[in-house]
Structure 1
């Protein structure tokens, strides 16, 4: 069973037993209020099979689907499948929750504290949450170098400090440097020998910027570095946690 769903069993149980035809504010059946009163947020609703109304809910950053019967008397939480075993809930979650969340994230990424890497006029833009001590971040940039050098891609590194005891000091030194890109490259080139050495005055200047990036990373639910955001060939914002395999890297760099 999905962790988000199983973790909600106690929260949802009252709603499943609740019976009412009255409608709460916003046009939702009162049974939905029994759930939202317990901390879940309605993201969107849609017409489902059998006269039911489906709801995509946000549970502390994780999507949950809930289906309410046509009379508003009963509801169930979980995945809806058809007779062939096709998951009917997944496309709704992808479009109404994941895609919408990623699209909103793009604007926040643009306004974060990032370091420009590659041609600033390159059409393909990639954002990446990176930690100075992250070996996979180092490997990601190494793999991306052919596209960066060709001027086809620009990577905007959102430097965070989350992995090691000196990550914040290193990240703050990079963002607080008079030449942040140069400091980032220095950390990249000396990574295998320990990376950049924290400098107190630069670290003091950059600390607030790193704190803001760390907060954004947490807000967006990015749980690993590199945390990569990019747009696919249709312009949809996608998110990838960790080092992508070669096939996926090609899709990211050649949307």
Structure 2
């Protein structure tokens, strides 16, 4: 839902700007498209321009990892999925996956709650909120039977949605056995009773990291190949992504 709202906001902003800006670009080259787009929308930083399989239509990526499609003169725009009907795939979704690809090895894993299952050979990081119902769904339905994996759980409470979540995150972090406390609370429904008074600077660092990575919702799953996937996806999908290169 956050992605849809951002896309609609971007489209509205661009359309409003069109009433006040003009450009005369006619070339179909990507540099000319970038110039035309930047002239019409000077407040939008263009990160890249690419040709699409549709003749005369270009993909423009602007700051904030937003994708817009336009003609050569940047006169007509649309925001949404570009679908390859033959392959039955979304070219937009594939591009977003590439834009959201991260370096797993650069994650500060020392700030995560670490759980090793089986040989622990596969890697998964999860940004999660203790009061998020979808995070609990992930913990209770999708993750329990997955093995041979090391799961790094980053406590990432979204206070604007769940005002009590930061306190609960601190309680979990301050507990003697974080993994046991987390598991009991999220998977078994046990209440938190411990103190939230300890050094919780790690949670501040996780929050800053999440903002930097562009994680706007929970749960957010990061796989070893750098793929960032939002939502409580099914066990079968997690297994595929854990094995993907």
Both proteins in one fold, TM over 0.5 = yes
1:50–1:145: structure 2 CA closer, same or farther, 3 Å change rule? closer
- In the alignment, what sits opposite 2:60? 56
- In the alignment, what sits opposite 2:237? 248
- In the alignment, what sits opposite 1:222? 215
- In the alignment, what sits opposite 2:156? 160
What SS is found at the alignment partner of 1:44? Answer: strand
Report how far residue 147 of structure 1 moved: 1.9
| Aligned Cα root-mean-square deviation (Å) | 4.0
Q: 1:37 aligns with which of 39, 42, 48?
A: 42
Report how far residue 112 of structure 1 moved: 7.5
Could you report, residue by residue, the CA deviation over 1:135-169 in whole angstroms, capped at 9, with x for unpaired residues? 43233223322224xxx122211112224332112
* Distance (whole Å) between structure 1 residues aligned to residue 137 and residue 48 of structure 2: 38
Computing the radius of gyration over CA atoms, which structure comes out larger, 1 or 2?
A: 1
Higher relative contact order (CA 8 A, sep 6+): 2
Aligned length: 231
Q: Is the 8 A contact 1:67 1:75 kept in 2?
A: yes
What SS is found at the alignment partner of 1:129? Answer: strand
Report how far residue 215 of structure 1 moved: 3.4
1:1-255 to 2 correspondence within 5 Å?
3=8, 4-15=10-21, 17-19=22-24, 29-35=34-40, 37-38=42-43, 40-48=44-52, 52=56, 54-58=58-62, 60-68=64-72, 75-78=75-78, 90-91=90-91, 93-96=92-95, 98-104=96-102, 106=104, 109-110=107-108, 113-119=111-117, 122-143=120-141, 144-148=143-147, 152-162=148-158, 163-188=161-186, 192-194=189-191, 196-202=192-198, 205-206=199-200, 208-230=201-223, 235=225, 237-241=227-231, 243-252=232-241, 255=244
* Distance (whole Å) between structure 2 residues aligned to residue 158 and residue 139 of structure 1: 16
Could you report, residue by residue, the CA deviation over 1:94-132 in whole angstroms, capped at 9, with x for unpaired residues? 444x13332136455455832111249523212211112
Unaligned runs of 5+ in 1: none
Unaligned runs of 5+ in 2: none
Could you report, residue by residue, the CA deviation over 1:155-209 in whole angstroms, capped at 9, with x for unpaired residues? 21111222433211221232344543343234336x5243x2351432xx11x32
* Distance (whole Å) between structure 1 residues aligned to residue 13 and residue 86 of structure 2: 24
1:199–1:35: structure 2 CA closer, same or farther, 3 Å change rule? farther
* Distance (whole Å) between structure 2 residues aligned to residue 29 and residue 139 of structure 1: 43
Higher-helix-fraction structure? 1
What SS is found at the alignment partner of 2:189? Answer: helix
* Distance (whole Å) between structure 1 residues aligned to residue 120 and residue 126 of structure 2: 16
1:215–1:80: structure 2 CA closer, same or farther, 3 Å change rule? closer
* Distance (whole Å) between structure 2 residues aligned to residue 213 and residue 165 of structure 1: 18
What SS is found at the alignment partner of 2:197? Answer: helix
